[in-house]
Amino acid sequence: MAITPTDESNLLLPLFEGIFEEPVWETFLRRLALRTGADRVRLTVQNSADPDQTPLRRRVLADRLARENDAGEPEAFDASTYSALRPNRVYSLDEIRDFERPADRTVQTEALAAARIGDARLIRVAGRGDLNAWIVLLSERAVFGAADSALLTALAPAIATALELFAAIGGLRLRADTARDTLVLLGIEQEILDRSGHPLGELARTGTFVPSPSQALAEACTALAEAPTDKRQLIHSDGRDLLLRPAGRSREGLSHPAAVIAMQRIGPRDSASGGAAVLARQFGLSAREAALAEALSRGVPLIEAGRALQLTAETTRNYSKRIYAKTGTSGQADLVRLVLTSLAPLA
């Protein structure tokens, strides 16, 4: 069965648009349920290379079931059958039931009856690498036919592509989140701005960056949009000092609204124990020596830092000399440089 123009607009477009939907693939699953007459449709995505990872599971119910007490689905039945499905082959309910062991078949029959499942179609779609998706159509009555199986078969290549895009976008989001978290550890907040100074990235959604761009920020963004990538400009906007640099052009040559990267300093971390632990391990310092070195790197005066560690002034000075000797530094300024360029600020 070929995908019809109606299926392209009602199923394929929501399949790819659903990657960015919240909850993911909601529209696609609901339209698939309407198209096939299913009471329930379930999509499960899992990485077979990491079986301990919790799978992504999306499930939609027909309006009739949504207003009733949904009995759920027999998980034990799922676990014993879904993983054995061959890729891109549609299975009916009878094909996955156990006819060789009457006792097991009885258990399955009871579980299906309790879950009000009288008919089903299942397909496993293999994506690139170790990604797999299972689509399950369930109905209380026998409603599925050859056309429904053919539809799932025809959709399988598009589902595999959507699955790969979903995984790729997830990887990009993970890299972006990791980079943002690392900058926060360093006391830096960064956001992408358009030519008018409006945020485009994560901070735009959370509302934690510049809520209303000033005229100075808008003018700076407009001017920097076409500037060389090594250009920098410091401005004061909305009560904050911002360092701006051009976002640069897309490597693919596509136009995009990003004009400027804005950076600002944020407050220090609440706890510095992680950095002290890294210093202790890296340079062989004691716990108090490492804590003192970390405090000095944050600009805390020597005696004050020692007092916070319940050290006398004389003991603090002796500690600092031992720290200099163990780290190979020639004084407090050299020690601060060493700590700030070590892994401690990232801990």
Regarding whether 136 and 69 lie in a shared domain, the answer is yes
Q: Are strands 40-47 and 131-139 parallel, antiparallel or unpaired?
A: antiparallel
Write down the pLDDT at residue 264.
92
Taking the alpha carbons of 289, 291, 296, 302 in that order, is the dihedral positive or negative? negative
Write down the pLDDT at residue 154.
96
Question: Which residues form the domain of 207?
Answer: 187-265
CATH of the domain at 194: 3.30.450
Do residues 306 and 312 lie in contact, with contact meaning Cβ atoms separated by under 8 Å?
yes
Regarding whether 114 and 60 lie in a shared domain, the answer is yes
Question: Over the Cα atoms of the chain, what is R_g?
Answer: 29
Q: What is the pLDDT along the chain (347 residues), one digit of tens a residue?
A: 678 899 999 999 999 999 999 999 999 999 999 999 999 999 999 887 777 778 888 989 988 777 776 777 766 556 556 778 899 999 998 887 766 677 777 887 888 888 888 999 999 998 877 888 999 999 999 999 999 999 999 999 999 999 999 989 988 889 988 998 899 888 899 989 999 998 886 555 555 555 567 889 999 999 998 899 899 999 998 888 999 999 877 665 556 788 999 999 887 665 667 899 999 999 999 999 999 999 999 889 999 999 999 999 999 999 999 999 999 999 999 999 999 999 998 88
Regarding whether 83 and 30 lie in a shared domain, the answer is yes
Regarding whether 227 and 86 lie in a shared domain, the answer is no
Regarding whether 261 and 154 lie in a shared domain, the answer is no
Considering its fold, how many domains does the chain have in total?
3
User: How far is Cα 73 from Cα 115, in angstroms, rounded to an integer?
Assistant: 6
**Does 67 fall in a domain?**
yes
Write down the pLDDT at residue 116.
87
**Does 182 fall in a domain?**
no
**Does 180 fall in a domain?**
no
End residue of a domain, out of 240, 265, 290:
265
**Does 129 fall in a domain?**
yes
Instruction: Please list the helix, strand and coil fractions of the chain in percent, rounded to the nearest 5, in that order.
Output: 50, 15, 35
CATH of the domain at 310: 1.10.10.10
Give strand pairing partners of 91.
Answer: 122
Regarding whether 160 and 31 lie in a shared domain, the answer is yes
Regarding whether 139 and 89 lie in a shared domain, the answer is yes
Write down the pLDDT at residue 312.
95
End residue of a domain, out of 128, 146, 172:
172
Write down the pLDDT at residue 206.
53
Write down the pLDDT at residue 103.
73
Regarding whether 302 and 159 lie in a shared domain, the answer is no
Regarding whether 195 and 167 lie in a shared domain, the answer is no
End residue of a domain, out of 265, 291, 318:
265
**Does 181 fall in a domain?**
no
